[in-house]
Amino acid sequence: MRRTARVLGTAIVFAILMLFLSTDAPAAPRVRVAYWLMADVIRGGSNAVGAVGVQTNVFKQGEEVVFRARVLDIGNGQDPGQQGKGIKALQDLGLKVTAYLEDGQSFPLSYGRHPAQVQGREAATWFWSSAWKIPASRAPGSVKWWVIVTDKSGASVRFDPIGAGTALPPIAIIIEKR
Amino acid sequence: MRRNLILLLCSGLLLALPLFSTGPASAGPQGRLVYWVMVDLVRGSVQATATVCAQTNVFKHGEEVVWRARVLDVASSEDPGDGGKNLVAIQERGLKVTAYLENGLSLPLRYGQHPGRATPGDPVAWFWATGWKIPDDFPTGTLKWWVVVTDKTGAFVRFDPIGAGANLPAPSIIVERR
């Protein structure tokens, strides 16, 4: 009986030891990116003085800044919204994408099809977007921006345009007189 | 004796159990993204007809398209080059970042400090960049582009601008007459 207890005890100790040694989790980095986030700004169609829908960070007063973001699950490289087929999955994840301006404004991005109206077999894609119409009275200058993705699990990923926080020329949105 | 044998078998099972539990962490999905790649285009200083270093995808003949890429290890969300302090790590990984144009042209990006000549004390950023001067006789129109990141382990991450593959004006480089 005593021998049996000893064998059993040894086995349990070994098992616990193996649990600690074999799992990868403790060795994994603490900071793990949950989403692959890419964002840019393009000129919207409202009051545009330049080409519409093109990438730019230089805008005139009254023009529309459109924030666009692509969010992929880092685990499988796929769009959690499955190109419009997984809207419920987005809701289940509680995925939220928000653009922020340094003046305190924030713009929730919505997940949608682009172009919104397609004809026939025209190709479309799904991503996140939102727009900010620059007030005509807005003072010229620059305004920093960034985008944050969050979900129900507490994941939070921030995107800053390349070169943000450096002495590089115009990383922020630049507003010029019309 | 028989009892001990059963106990030993149970112990063996207990020992083997943790080995099965590590499966998902070590294998990972096949499509797992190893690098978080962010890319944009800015106007270079060569024969620029508008704001230099501003984000754009519309260029005139003779202007310079500059690709800028930030590559982060998704496991740590850190720049493998550690902001220029660990160039050896980039070599050891065999990290390569290349921009491709649909006309067959490919341009390797280099990891460097930006601005290149910063005044001491000025904040700088380290990222990947390359430039392409559009020949004066280059056909006007649109030109698709993408960026690929590879390393020695066989990792392969492709970045396409938001909206690529759809009927949207933004993704391609637009070349116009000067």
Quote the Cα angle for A73-A76-A82, to 5°.
65
pLDDT tier for residue A66 given thresholds of 50, 70 and 90: very high
pLDDT value, residue B87: 95
The Cα of B104 is separated from the nearest Cα of chain A by a number of Å equal to 23
Q: What is the pLDDT of residues A71-107, one digit of tens each?
A: 999 888 899 999 999 999 999 999 999 999 999 999 9
The Cα of A100 is separated from the nearest Cα of chain B by a number of Å equal to 18
* Nearest by CB: B33 against A3, A4, A77: A77
Give whole-number Cα distances, A151 to A22, A90, A97, A104, A155, in Å.
30, 9, 9, 21, 6
Partner-chain contact B169 A51, CB within 8 Å: yes
B166 phi, psi to nearest 5 deg? -110, 170
The edge-to-edge listing of strands for the beta sheet with B145-150 is: B106-108, B96-101, B145-150, B156-159
pLDDT value, residue A122: 79
Whether the complex's predicted ipTM is more than 0.85 is answered with: no
- Positions of chain B with pLDDT lower than 50, given as ranges: 13-31
Of A130, A158, A150, the closest CA to residue A90 belongs to: A150
More confident call, A3 vs A83: A83
What is chain A's mean pLDDT, rounded? 82
pLDDT value, residue A4: 62
pLDDT value, residue A1: 56
**Which domains does chain B possess?**
33-176 (2.60.40.1930)
Q: What is the pLDDT of residues A103-146, one digit of tens each?
A: 999 999 999 999 888 787 778 899 999 999 999 999 999 899 99
* Nearest by CB: A127 against B55, B127, B162: B162
The percent of residues above 70 in pLDDT, for chain B, comes to 79
pLDDT value, residue B17: 42
